[in-house]
Amino acid sequence: MKAMVLKEISATEKEPLEMEDLPKPAPGPKEVLVKVSACGVCHTELDEIEGRIQPKLPIVLGHEVVGRVEGFGSGATKFNVGDRVGIAWIHSACGTCHFCRGGNENLCLEFKGTGCHANGGYAQYTVVSEDFAFPIPERFSDSEAAPLLCAGAIGYRDLVLSGVKKDQILGLFGFGASAHIVIQVAKHWGCEVFVFTRSQEHRTLAKRLGASWTGVPDDQPPRKLHCAIDFTPVGETVPRALRVLEKGGRLVLAVIRKRDPIPPLDYAEHLWDEREIKSVANITRKDLQDFLPLAAEIPIIPEVQDFPLEEANKALVLLKQGKIQGAGVLRMAH
């Protein structure tokens, strides 16, 4: 099978993924073999390529995988051949540690990430435990479904953890793939949304998707934010967001790693009055099970830009430059 493989940590601009011919993977016990049709590109891949999070090397990246079940390992019974499934960042969790038992399998001591600790979807085929494959609602095309699996589902987790309620003001810092899905869920819940981004194109998209105010990150919004989500890799966004956060408000940090340090915070200006900061790590199966049907019901139809698998490097560079409108998705030819 064709796969785009990362062999060493590198700058994304050096286009380090190499097209290789790998053996088609064989599904192990309780695993399914998935013929991949689409795989989203995600900021987490930039973190892996550039070494801010450490993948097992060599690795096939990609954790927004959509395809059809083509084969089974022993004891796999949940799906039929031809079923359309998605695979997300959570590739496996132990099921027995205190985090797993408490419903926080995203924090599992043995958490494994798709396309990080196990080969992912930048390839024609992949394998996954049937317990970590999710049915894709009919109404989405393969490309549309891909960003729902990470940008969408993690955005949903960010939104839930922000604690935002109906009629409250939610601030979004950065307006990429995840934020443009989050705004649609937040509007569905009856929240008001303010969007802060440097990109004029992204501000226009935000307005179209229902933002009642948009500006650049340093702008003063007309009212303070009850909750905010920071999708940017920029450390400085943290004090900027805290400065416009209402008393008792919570700022959720959605990225796995910041590209640069968070500047020193001033306790009185940024944190006093019960302001909170919370990071979001990984994702649970429940997030996906809750979000995918909700996305179909609203419905959320992500904006996508397709690239052939061979152009994975180009898609990643454009992602890093913030030049993809909505979500980038790799398409596999078979």
- Least distance from C-beta 34 to Zn ion, angstroms? 17
CA distances from 37 to 11, 24, 148, 299, 330 (A): 27, 15, 15, 22, 8
Find the binding residues for Zn ion in span 228-247 (CB under 5 A): none
Q: Which stretch binds Zn ion (CB under 5 A): 116-124, 150-158, 263-271, 274-282?
A: 150-158
Would you count residue 150 as binding Zn ion (CB under 5 A)?
yes
Would you count residue 94 as binding Zn ion (CB under 5 A)?
yes
Type of residue numbered 57 = L
DSSP secondary structure, 257-307, as one string: S-SSPPPPPPIIIIITTT-EEEE--S--HHHHHHHHHHHHHTT----EEEE
Would you count residue 119 as binding Zn ion (CB under 5 A)?
no
- Least distance from C-beta 142 to Zn ion, angstroms? 17
Would you count residue 129 as binding Zn ion (CB under 5 A)?
no
Would you count residue 42 as binding Zn ion (CB under 5 A)?
yes
**Could you give the CA distance from residue 123 to residue 121 in angstroms, rounded to a whole number?**
5
User: Would you say 192 or 230 has its CB closer to Zn ion?
Assistant: 230
Q: Which stretch binds Zn ion (CB under 5 A): 29-37, 39-47, 119-127, 157-165?
A: 39-47
**Could you give the CA distance from residue 97 to residue 145 in angstroms, rounded to a whole number?**
31
Contact pick of 12, 37, 44, 197 for Zn ion (by CB under 5 A): 44
User: Would you say 90 or 191 has its CB closer to Zn ion?
Assistant: 90
Would you count residue 254 as binding Zn ion (CB under 5 A)?
no
User: Would you say 90 or 195 has its CB closer to Zn ion?
Assistant: 90
CB neighbour list of residue 327: distance below 8 Å, 6 or more residues apart: 40, 41, 146, 147, 151, 176, 177, 302, 303, 304, 305
- Least distance from C-beta 93 to Zn ion, angstroms? 5
Would you count residue 97 as binding Zn ion (CB under 5 A)?
yes
Residues in the chain: 334
Size, binding site for Zn ion by CB under 5 A: 8
Contact pick of 100, 136, 145, 211 for Zn ion (by CB under 5 A): 100
**Could you give the CA distance from residue 243 to residue 266 in angstroms, rounded to a whole number?**
10
DSSP secondary structure, 30-54, as one string: TEEEEEEEEEE--HHHHHHHTTSS-
Q: Is the CB of residue 259 less than 8 Å from the CB of residue 284? A: no
Report residue 66: phi and psi, to 5°.
-125, 135
User: What is the Cα Rg of the chain in Å?
Assistant: 19
Contact pick of 5, 108, 252, 327 for Zn ion (by CB under 5 A): 108
User: Would you say 27 or 155 has its CB closer to Zn ion?
Assistant: 155
- Least distance from C-beta 275 to Zn ion, angstroms? 27
**Plot region of 62 (φ>0 → left; ψ -120 to 50 → alpha; else → beta):** left
Q: Which stretch binds Zn ion (CB under 5 A): 36-44, 68-76, 119-127, 298-306?
A: 36-44
Nearest to 326, CA basis, from 187, 172, 152, 198: 152
User: Would you say 150 or 251 has its CB closer to Zn ion?
Assistant: 150
User: Would you say 33 or 177 has its CB closer to Zn ion?
Assistant: 177
Would you count residue 53 as binding Zn ion (CB under 5 A)?
no
CB neighbour list of residue 307: distance below 8 Å, 6 or more residues apart: 41, 314, 315, 328, 329, 330, 331
- Least distance from C-beta 154 to Zn ion, angstroms? 6
Q: Which stretch binds Zn ion (CB under 5 A): 87-95, 122-130, 134-142, 299-307?
A: 87-95
Q: Which stretch binds Zn ion (CB under 5 A): 34-42, 166-174, 178-186, 280-288?
A: 34-42
User: Would you say 37 or 284 has its CB closer to Zn ion?
Assistant: 284
Site residues, Zn ion (CB under 5 A): 42, 44, 93-94, 97, 100, 108, 150
